[in-house]
């Protein structure tokens, strides 16, 4: 096999790695943002519920401020406490913060490899360094396989969720997406 066709094969493999890393990092960043939003929403609702319970308890210290014989007055603290408790259970069952962190770490690893693949042409401008390019592309393939193995699996359900997230998203964090993507 001549060096020109071998260099073209290496170039094609770098491009495949570039696309794989790009698609995966975007998906994981999108899911990380989604799960962070869910975790924050639960946190704010819990905080509001606890603040409401505290305010309620403090307000009952003042005689005549609230009618004591009303069933709504007696039931409200209990209902608020149940809501906060249920949200705490939901938080621990769904582990939104853990999922967000895991997806963010995977996305960062994909992004690091994506940047390395993006700069491959600078490192290997022509076929004079073909042996080094061949070794590096194999190393990148191994790194990509390691990241794929360690990253959370993206099921078809998650891909549909990612598509919904992207269709509803108006802003993109420039630190997570490439400049070229903004130009499209």
Is residue 34 domain-resident?
A: yes
Is residue 174 domain-resident?
A: no
Q: Which domain holds residue 137?
A: 3-169
pLDDT of the residue at 173: 57
pLDDT in tens, the chain (184 residues): 688 899 899 999 999 999 999 999 999 999 999 999 999 998 998 888 888 877 777 776 666 666 666 676 677 778 878 888 888 888 888 899 999 999 999 999 999 999 999 988 888 888 888 899 999 999 999 999 999 999 999 999 999 999 998 888 765 554 565 544 543 4
pLDDT of the residue at 18: 94
Is residue 16 domain-resident?
A: yes
Is residue 177 domain-resident?
A: no
Q: How many domains does the chain have?
A: 1
pLDDT of the residue at 179: 46
Quickly count: other Cβ atoms within 10 Å of residue 151's Cβ.
Answer: 19
Is residue 182 domain-resident?
A: no
Is residue 46 domain-resident?
A: yes
Question: In terms of residues, how long is the chain?
Answer: 184
Is residue 179 domain-resident?
A: no
Quote the CA–CA distance of 170 and 163 in Å, as a whole number: 13
3-state secondary structure the chain: CCHHHHHHHHHHHHHHHHHHHHHHHHHHHHHHHHHHHHHHHHHHHHHHHHHHHHHHHHHCCCCCCCCCCCHHHHHHHHHHHHHHHHHHHHHHHHCHHHHHHHHHHHHHHHHHHHHHHHCHHHHCCCHHHHHHHHHHHHHHHHHHHHHHHHCCCCCHHHHHHHHHHHHHCCCCCCCCCCHHHHHC
Is residue 175 domain-resident?
A: no
Q: Which candidate, 97, 106, 99, 102, places its Cα nearest to that of 26?
A: 106
């Amino acid at each position: 096999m001549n060096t020109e066709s071998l260099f073209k094969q290496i170039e094609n493999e770098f491009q495949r790695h570039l696309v794989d890393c790009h698609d995966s990092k975007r998906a994981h960043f999108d899911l990380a943002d989604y799960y962070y939003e869910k975790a924050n929403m639960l946190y704010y609702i819990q905080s509001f519920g606890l603040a409401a319970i505290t305010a309620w308890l403090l307000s009952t210290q003042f005689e005549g401020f609230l009618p004591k014989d009303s069933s709504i007055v007696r039931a409200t603290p209990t209902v608020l406490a149940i809501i906060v408790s249920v949200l705490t259970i939901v938080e621990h069952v769904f582990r939104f913060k853990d999922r967000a962190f895991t997806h963010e770490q995977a996305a960062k690893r994909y992004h690091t490899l994506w940047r390395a693949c993006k700069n491959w042409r600078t490192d290997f401008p022509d076929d004079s360094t073909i042996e080094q390019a061949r070794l590096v592309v194999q190393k990148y393939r191994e790194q990509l396989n390691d990241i794929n193995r360690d990253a959370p699996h993206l099921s078809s359900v998650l891909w549909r969720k990612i598509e919904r997230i992207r269709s509803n998203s108006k802003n993109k964090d420039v630190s997570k997406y490439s400049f070229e993507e903004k130009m499209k």
